[in-house]
Amino acid sequence: MFTTKELELFKSQNTPFYYYNMELLEQTLQSLTKASQKYNYHVHYAFKANTNHEILELIQSYDLGADCVSGNEVLKAKATNFPSSKIAFAGVGKSDDEINIGLDNDIFCFNCESLPEMEVINELAEKKGKIAPIALRINPNVNAKTHHYITTGLEENKFGINRWELEEVLNKLKVYKNLKLIGLHFHIGSQITDLSAFKSLCLRVNEVQQWFYSHHIIVDHINVGGGLGIGYENPDSNSIPDFESFFDLFNEILELRPKQELHFELGRAVTAQCGSLISKVLYVKKGIKTNFAIVDAGMTELIRPALYQAYHKVENITTDELEIDKYDVVGPICESSDCFGKALYLPITKRGDLVAIRSTGAYGEVLSSAYNLRSKAESIYSSNLNI
Ligand code: LLP
């Protein structure tokens, strides 16, 4: 739902553009920090969700850490004043240059995904005469969808270290003198709306911790990754995720050792709902069973529907027409998958109407492309426009 001022502003802009409601982002950050501070939990914002400067600056002002997955994200975190002591660097394929960026910036932690990666980080750290702090990313074998442990498929998964490799990892750690084990890292998936999946994760973390404990190891921190989902169906009634229930669950089930810190890496839950992609209807044409509303944004601005068959709410924000009809809302790109929604009920829609594609603040703009030589869509912030 947009205010009259916002709608007026939209009419004066070239379309398509990304619109960010910074007040909503601020309220989300307030709610997040209130809920996490209750238990003294540490939240790293997952940069991959949205790396717009204005958004990062606001997030940084709430003292969140950074979860980065490339050397450039680490550099961007530094450029937006995230302290090195709060930068975690994850990723299954860190290049030597990227590892060196992490080492040169004395980041909080490398989330290590394999034995060969440990070997390389150790080598590069040795060359610089540094000790690299690492967390082992352990594949928890937890199904984020069905909330049950799975027992197959681990060998097909590129992420993390499998539990049967841990004995060898500990042996190597005795040899790799330039690594310091400071944490254990887990991540089960993204857009998880049923909290029982996180319950399964907590139980698995408890088991893994017990295994380490039996090998006389207690790490400084546990990092349980991100994944908290948002309400794509009803962005207005679910504009801020239920952070309280999320953290309460970890507090209830995950068994931390004395003085051990708990870290999270949330992306989508922080930024998704503050963003909308605003687009103009170019043409309405009759199809066999439905109408096509052809809009000027496409999969180049928002690839989630084409790539993951993801649902984003589409609203006609121009008309107050009461009569409705069925529309496939499609973009101009030369791909049949360039479709934001099929057979959507919208008010009678005409050329020139504006549509809002909602909940695009995470994994929207960052995944945009120049396919078909499309121009980059602009980003507009409510904060710059005195709304
Ligand atoms: N930590 C790790 C290790 C991750 O791999 C991810 C996301 C996150 C944290 C942040 O997850 P979040 O809190 O945002 O769910 N492009 C896809 C999502 C890819 C997520 C990749 N990893 C989409 O548009 O749905």
In order of start, what are the domains of the chain with their CATH numbers?
Answer: 4-16+273-381 (2.40.37.10), 23-272 (3.20.20.10)
| pLDDT at 101 > cutoff 90 | yes
| pLDDT at 133 > cutoff 70 | yes
The whole-number pLDDT of residue 70 equals: 98
Backbone angles phi, psi at 256, to 5 degrees: -85, 150
Q: What is the DSSP string of 287-335?
A: -SSSEEEEES--TTT--HHHHH-----EEE-S-----EEEEEEE-SSSS
Each residue's pLDDT tens digit, 256-300: 999 999 999 999 999 999 999 999 999 999 988 899 999 999 999
| pLDDT at 157 > cutoff 80 | no
Distance CA 324, CA 129 (A): 68
User: pTM here?
Assistant: 0.96
The answer to whether the CB of 309 falls within 8 A of the CB of 339 is: no
Q: Which of 268, 303, 307 has the most ligand 1 atoms within 8 A of CB, as the residue to mutate?
A: 268
Backbone angles phi, psi at 368, to 5 degrees: -75, 160
Across the range 333-357, mean pLDDT stands at 97
| pLDDT at 12 > cutoff 80 | yes
The whole-number pLDDT of residue 386 equals: 61
The answer to whether the CB of 324 falls within 8 A of the CB of 248 is: no
Q: Which residues pair with 329 in a beta bridge?
A: 293, 341
Backbone angles phi, psi at 236, to 5 degrees: -80, -40
Each residue's pLDDT tens digit, 160-204: 898 889 999 999 999 999 999 999 999 999 999 999 999 999 999
Contacts of 324 (CB under 8 A, 6+ apart): 345, 346, 347, 348
Tokens representing residue 102 in the block: 């992490």
CA-based nearest residue to 271, from 366, 340, 384, 376: 366
End-to-end CA distance of the chain: 14
The answer to whether the CB of 89 falls within 8 A of the CB of 107 is: yes
The whole-number pLDDT of residue 154 equals: 43
The whole-number pLDDT of residue 289 equals: 86
| pLDDT at 63 > cutoff 80 | yes
Across the range 37-57, mean pLDDT stands at 98
The reply to whether ligand 1 has any atom less than 6 angstroms from the CB of 304 is yes
Across the range 85-111, mean pLDDT stands at 97
Measured by CA distance, the residue closest to atom 19 of ligand 1 is 190
| pLDDT at 136 > cutoff 60 | yes
| pLDDT at 207 > cutoff 80 | yes
Placement of tokens 């809920």 in the chain: 35
Q: Tell me how far the alpha carbon of residue 12 lies from the centroid of ligand 1, in angstroms.
A: 34
Q: Which of 50, 59, 190, 193 has the most ligand 1 atoms within 8 A of CB, as the residue to mutate?
A: 190
Residue-averaged pLDDT of the chain: 94
